[in-house]
Amino acid sequence: MLVVMQQGATEEQIEHVIDRLVDLGFDVHRSTGLIHTVLGGVGGKYDFDVAVFEVMEGVKEAHRIVSPYKLASRGFRPGGTIVQVGPLAIGGDAVVVMAGPCSVENRDQIEQCAELAARTGARVIRGGAFKPRSSPYEFQGLGAEGLQMLRAAADRHGLLVVSEVMDQTQIPLLAEYADIVQVGARNMQNFNLLRELGKQSKPVLLKRGIAASIEELLLSAEYILAGGNYNVILCERGIRTFETYTRNTLDLSAIPVVKKLSHLPIVADPSHGTGRRDIVAPMARAAVAAGADGLMIEVHPDPDRALSDGAQSVRPEQFEELMHQLQAIALAVGRTL
């Protein structure tokens, strides 16, 4: 903890800050410069709000040196984490592709997606059975029936399953049918849900909230890790900005930033990140080049008739071509696909 006092701060103000730092368990080192007094706090707690110091009388600025998350930080596991999902390693050399429709719609649709995914080298099939839709009048998903279809198609083609959980009551059902449980962007800060997911062992794919900072994403991951579940995969899926051409702005810089700050694997979702199938492929290629451990891509056999997210779902032939391109890019950055 570092507190820089204002020019002319009184001895009383300085002592007051020192007292607060000591209260929090810090060992305080005081340096008196020509203009500013700087207070360095070593050790101590970190479950406090830095703003408390920023607004104290006589304080110019205050900075936390240690990150507010502990288990999610790179320092906790400098070598990085590989999340093992059955035979699949996420966070290792291989870039893992998770592909499938936005929503599970019917048996035929999911079968076609599973066949395509398996044939082209994807390892995980995605598909929502519980859908967080912006409007209550839109298709809400097939629920348990959708999960059964997804599981059956995955098993026929040797794929793993990722599907979204919307609240705690659905965890047992998801745990029964899926290999990876997805927490959607809208639920990234549903702390009760995160806590419950921390108490069970299924790997969790945690998507970044539409208005969440990288630090908030890592703090949400911390909730799951703190419960004892270390199988967390992060997902950059775009954030809301002032740009209107794309549905979201895919923050590719979050990938190397997360790699630096955290040991957790991170995948990119260029489908929700762009909202447009015509630019999913270039952003997918860029994400692999930027160091993503995997991709989540929406693909649909007939996207113009999809019940959700058709505009951002690539056609099967586009997906196939993309998978070929990704092999070369993965190789160029020392990975495999």
Residues contributing to the site for ligand PEP (CB under 6 A): 102, 128, 132, 184-186, 207, 237, 272
Cα-based torsion angle of the residue sequence 214, 309, 84, 251 in order, rounded to the nearest 10 degrees = -20
Quote the DSSP letter at residue 263: S
Residue 335 vs residues 94, 144, 248, 258, 291: alpha-carbon distances, Å:
6, 36, 27, 18, 9
Question: Where is 183: in which H helix or E strand?
Answer: strand 180-183
Q: Which two tokens stand for residue 335?
A: 């990975």
- Measured CA to CA, the distance from residue 244 to residue 252 in angstroms comes to 18
| CB-nearer residue toward Mn ion: 102 or 166 | 102
Residue 171 Cβ vs Mn ion, minimum distance, rounded to whole Å: 21
What DSSP character marks residue 262?
B
For the CB of residue 303, give the shortest distance to ligand PEP in the complex, in Å.
14
**Residue 207, contacted partner among ligand PEP, Mn ion, none, CB below 5-8 A by kind:** ligand PEP
**Which entry of Mn ion, ligand PEP, none binds 41, CB below 5 to 8 A by partner kind?**
none
Closest to ligand PEP by CB, 39 or 267:
267
What residues from 167 to 196 belong to the interface with Mn ion (CB under 5 A)?
Answer: none
Least distance in angstroms from the C-beta of 268 to ligand PEP: 11
237 binds, among Mn ion, ligand PEP, none (CB under 5 to 8 A by kind): ligand PEP
The candidate with the shortest Cα–Cα distance to 113, out of 265, 285, 327, 301, is 301
Q: Which is nearer to Mn ion, 20 or 237 (CB)?
A: 237
Binding at 132: pick from ligand PEP, Mn ion, none (beta carbon under 5-8 Å per type): ligand PEP
Residue 123 touches which of Mn ion, ligand PEP, none (Cβ within 5-8 Å per kind): none
Which among ligand PEP, Mn ion, none contacts residue 157 (Cβ within 5 to 8 A by kind)? none
Q: For tokens 């056999």, name the residue.
A: 301
Closest CB to ligand PEP among residues 187, 229:
187
String of DSSP letters for 189-253: T-HHHHHHHHTS-S-EEEEPPTT--HHHHHHHHHHHHHTT---EEEEE--B--S--SSSSB--TT
Is residue 40 helix, strand or coil? strand
Interface segment toward Mn ion; rule CB under 5 A; list 99-107, 134-142, 146-154, 288-296: 99-107
Residue 221 CB, shortest distance to ligand PEP, in Å, is: 15
Shortest distance in whole angstroms from residue 170 CB to ligand PEP: 14
Residues 81 and 92: beta-carbon distance below 8 Å: no
Look at residue 10 and give its three-state secondary structure. coil
Q: How far is the CB of 144 from Mn ion (least distance, A)?
A: 19
Nearer to ligand PEP by C-beta: 43 or 132?
132
Task: Choose which of 102, 104, 124, 185 interacts with Mn ion (CB under 5 A).
Answer: 102
Q: Which residues 6+ apart lie within 8 Å of 114 measured at CB? A: 100, 125, 153, 154, 156, 157, 159
Instruction: Give min distance, CB of 102 to ligand PEP, in A.
Output: 5
Residue 309 found at the interface with Mn ion (CB under 5 A): yes
- CB neighbour class for 233 (10 Å; exposed up to 12, middle 13-18, buried from 19): buried
Binding of Mn ion by 105 (CB under 5 A): no
Pick 179 or 309: Cβ nearer Mn ion? 309
Q: Are 102 and 308 contacting, i.e. CB atoms less than 8 angstroms apart? A: yes
Residue among 31 and 134 whose Cβ is closer to ligand PEP = 134
166 contributes a contact to Mn ion by CB under 5 A: no
* Nearer CB in complex with ligand PEP: 237/300: 237
Residues lying near Mn ion in the complex (CB under 5 A) are found at 102, 309
